[in-house]
Amino acid sequence: MNNAAARLARLSLKRPVTVLMLSLSLLLMGVLASRWLPLEMWPGIEIPQISVQVPYANATPQEVEDNITRPIEEALATLSGVKEMRSWSTSDGANVTLQLDWSANINAKSIEAREKLDSIRHLLPKDVERVFVFQFSTNDMPVLTMRLSGKTDFATAYALLERELKRPLERLAGVSKVTLYGVDKPELKIDLNAERLYAMSLTPLDVASRLQAANFQLAAGNVYAPGQQWLVHPNGTWTDPEQVGDLYITPAVQLKDLARISVGEPERREGRHFDQTYAVGLDVFKESGANLVDVAQRVLAVIKDAEQNPALDGVRLFVMEDQAKSVQDSLSGLLQSGLIGAALSALVLLAFLRRFAMTAVVVLSVPFAICLTLAMMYFMELSLNILSMMGLMLAVGMLVDNAVVVVESIATERARGLDGDEAVTQGVNRVALAMAAGTLTTAIVFLPNLFGAKIDITVFLKHVSVAICISLAASLILAITLIPLLTKRFSGAAPHQPTEPKRYLGALNWLLARPKRAWLLFILLAASTALPLGQLPSDDNFDGDDERLFISMPLPGEFPLAMVEAEVTRMEEYLYANKDELGIEGVYSYFAPFEATLTLLLKKPALLPRNELKKRLRDNWPKTTLARPQFGWSNGGGGGVQLTLQGPSSERLRILADQLVPQLAAIEGLKDVRADQDALAREIRIHPDPERARQLGLDARAIASQVSLSLRGQPARTLRTDDGETDVSLYANHGAHLDLRQLKRLPVAWHDGKLIRLEQVAEVVEAPQVGAIQRFDRQTTVMIGANLEALALSDARTKITALMEQVALPAGYRWSLDGRFRTQDEGQQAMMVNMMLALVMIYLVMAALFESVLMPLAILTAIGFSMTGAFWAFWITQTPMSVMGMIGLLILMGIVVNNGIVLVDRINQLRDQGPLREMIQKACGERLRPILMTVATTVLGLVPLALGSTRVGGGGPSYAPMAIAIIGGLLLSTLVSLFLVPLCYQSLTGLKRRWQAISQAARLKAGLA
């Protein structure tokens, strides 16, 4: 390795213009690549999840579970590679979600899932229209999520919004799709008068059949003539609403004589408010490979023009989610931290080198390495995103390490009297192995993330590691080519022989002379790890977006949308009346018949601490009739935890949950405790009288069909006009859904000249029903959630576990900790395994490079003390152990061994030139300055991240725990390595010599025998 590096350095000295032109070309290529690289929020990652959605409106959850959810679960259970299966059965349909392994081929699994669903399609209810199968990718996330409010009545303005806003946005370059929600396309509604219908000896089914027969479009084949061919295309498609009313059901009766026909908005199932006015949602998706910031700018420009559009009459736009802004904020924070760190590192280098030219040479390696990295990322078809930027940010402090070591080694050779090319070549030759080993060990810690067990953390770290590894490899190449060339050109007069660090060498000599005392001292230092480790809480260190606060309003059943909206309005009035003292910028609300959620948009900077704001809101928010406001734990805004109960009976699970909720609420630090299935809806059960129905010539299914047609309706194909397609829905006495009395009087038949109503042939009773049914791995589930306030995740785990161990659950029922608990367990377990694999791989690399299985052990001691330093840093700064902290520990393992590598490599070079202890001291004295410089530049490069508020993606977890782990571990391990590595080297060498002596004596004895 040394000879190859020396040859490269010699070549760069012989061909300086060539090396400079190549370097400038790479610099230019990197600058261009920074413009060409796609800028994205996240890299393109296929999420290992398949979701099956089956819309089935106006049904009971139990009906959906029995007829839809269970057959789908049984079909998908045979799919291989499924980690877990979750399902939700509601009054609107079924949703089954499969969580697969990250290593699975999602496209192939999605096709396989569709095939299995096709095989059981006949088992589903006949009126199930569609079964949707979705798979997810980070590229499928909307780049902009907006809310529109204003003077316009958006609830009935679908055509207006589509014409003035949706279509102009879809025409923009880089936009792939635009979706509107909160406003629906008008539908053609046919509401039959059942009394007239039955009086004419007709049934709703007769009308439905006639509608299907009249509204058609098909291909009938071809007609041929000599040299010609025509496609025959019978077309009976409706093109005007009047055509529908003019349709003859019998030779003498038209449809308009039997029904009320109207075009209007479908019945609303949900609504949104923004700033106390009705709002519409709009999502914009970009094309794959399009520049995120450019697309967002074009979209916002169109929105700005729309605000001035007279047709929209003063529409107001609010951006709920802007990936471009999040990326820009994250990149801006990282760039600012990087520039501050680079400036601090440059000042430290200048203080050590005391030459501006040499400092500039070393610092120059950073932009060159980054530009080379960007160029390589472009050719590898990668994107510039928050993960790759995170990797570049972490690498900034390490990019100067190799340059520092080379410059210092060349200066040392020149101080000894060598000059010109010989000093440069010899300087590079002496440190090439150490630089290669240091770069490899730093990069190799990420190898388990690339090839080991895959979870979300390791998949994301893969993209971080690519940027780090490429940039470090670039810095190594520059350190043995461009840096030696520039060092020779700008080094000036030969430096004086550096002054020996007498205090350091004196302390080192004292330790080497007293190994037993030294080992006792280091053992005590290592044992001190138990103090911070025992008191260090474990948490994921993410309490949600600082700019928003979520309030959920779960309802004890399903209620008319107008009643829920009134509850939301009451809460909004309180919030807006106190917005100035609470520090609220605005409020966005979502409401549906069974729930409501309010998103509080907070002012920046925050007027009140988050916990103080929550306390004030809890103490003062208005008493509501239906809902129980609390801070949401299911939407990520409350930093909540979840306890899962599983068992065969939904009713029994409900009882258990009701018993556990008050016990959990009594735990200090757990707030807003509730079961997600604690809302009971009311249902109407219709029990036909078989004997009475038989007398009237009816059967139960005919009665059920009539009720279904009245309440749910039936699709009757579409009406096609110049403005597009309009859905057609058929009902019969649809007003029956507004009142139980009207439902009981619903006409169901005509017999002996009399109209037969529902209450005459069936018993209609009211009964409770579960609002939704959840299942986990094909077993019924209830989840109990809570928010954490002034309680670490690890402490919450301990307290909840202690409580649950005292609870005797019935046979067949079990509990588990879910949500953040499971995420943290999986993340920490994977990181621990990867850290152990990284430790083994670091040893293998060093053993191969040093051709020794013993000496790498001296270097590995630095890793243990780096953990000690990191834990003490967490304890001193009161930073909980989190996944970001564990990422810092992983990166730290690859960094801290560099100091030991530099020391051991130099000791190996000198060990045959004199007594071992003297050579150890001499090597350590020579390598002290470069070690201190590289550590100082790395630490100072991370200080802005440790002290700042920069977050992943602008609103994700903080970078601070990662930076604190690296800084604390690197500082202590450096201090210890300067003494412990030489001591280990001396002890291991003595052990090796004694073993050789014993072996030689044994062989001699065996030979004499």
Q: Is the pTM of this model over 0.75?
A: no
Domain membership of residue 528 as a residue range: 501-535+818-1008
> For residue 775, is it within any domain?
no
The CATH number that applies at residue 935 is: 1.20.1640.10
697 and 838 in a single domain? The answer is no
846 and 983 in a single domain? The answer is yes
967 and 835 in a single domain? The answer is yes
Phi, psi of 765 (to 5 degrees): -130, 155
Q: Into how many domains does the chain fold?
A: 5
Task: Check residue 59 and report its DSSP letter.
Answer: -
Radius of gyration of the chain (CA): 36
CA distances 793 to 211, 881, 926, Å, are 60, 10, 47
Inter-residue contact 650 to 69 (CB < 8 Å): no
> For residue 63, is it within any domain?
yes
Indicate the residue among 137, 161, 177 that finishes a domain.
137
Spatial neighbors of 18 by CB under 8 A, at least 6 apart, are none
> For residue 299, is it within any domain?
no
846 and 957 in a single domain? The answer is yes
Indicate the residue among 584, 612, 638 that finishes a domain.
638
Q: What is the pLDDT of residue 994?
A: 81
385 and 524 in a single domain? The answer is no
CA 454/CA 450 separation, integer angstroms: 8
Q: What is the pLDDT of residue 750?
A: 72
CA 983/CA 904 separation, integer angstroms: 11
> For residue 477, is it within any domain?
yes
> For residue 603, is it within any domain?
yes
Amino acid of residue 249: I
- Continuous segment of H or E residues that includes residue 95: strand 93-100
> For residue 753, is it within any domain?
yes
Q: What is the pLDDT of residue 634?
A: 44
CA 448/CA 436 separation, integer angstroms: 20
882 and 997 in a single domain? The answer is yes
368 and 472 in a single domain? The answer is yes
- Please list the ranges in the chain whose pLDDT falls under 50: 634-638, 678, 1009
CA 914/CA 3 separation, integer angstroms: 24
627 and 728 in a single domain? The answer is no
CA 26/CA 688 separation, integer angstroms: 82
DSSP state letters, 334-363:
HHHHHHHHHHHHHHHHHHHH--HHHHHHHH
Q: How buried is 90 (Cβ within 10 angstroms: 0-12 exposed, 13-18 middle, 19+ buried)?
A: buried
The CATH number that applies at residue 240 is: 3.30.2090.10
Taken as a whole, the chain contains a residue count of 1009
910 and 968 in a single domain? The answer is yes
CA distances 481 to 11, 46, 366, 375, 412, Å, are 8, 40, 14, 18, 18
Task: Check residue 452 and report its DSSP letter.
Answer: S
State the virtual CA torsion across 859, 862, 864, 870 in degrees, nearest 10: -150
Q: What is the pLDDT of residue 30?
A: 85
How many of the other CB atoms lie within 10 Å of CB of 822? 14
488 and 361 in a single domain? The answer is yes
> Is residue 20 classed as helix, strand or coil in its secondary structure?
helix
State the virtual CA torsion across 300, 304, 309, 312 in degrees, nearest 10: 70
- Residue 553 in tokens: 């309003």
Q: What is the pLDDT of residue 1009?
A: 47
> For residue 623, is it within any domain?
yes
Count of alpha carbons within 13 angstroms of residue 269, beta-carbon side:
8
Indicate the residue among 706, 735, 770 that finishes a domain.
770
82 and 4 in a single domain? The answer is no
- Residue 271 in tokens: 């609504």
The CATH number that applies at residue 58 is: 3.30.70.1430
Inter-residue contact 755 to 747 (CB < 8 Å): yes
Please state whether 315 falls in left (phi above 0), alpha (psi between -120 and 50) or beta.
beta
Amino acid of residue 62: Q
Inter-residue contact 743 to 758 (CB < 8 Å): yes
832 and 966 in a single domain? The answer is yes
> For residue 426, is it within any domain?
yes
Task: Check residue 163 and report its DSSP letter.
Answer: I
CA 836 to chain centroid: 25
CA distances 331 to 40, 285, 541, 800, Å, are 11, 21, 21, 39
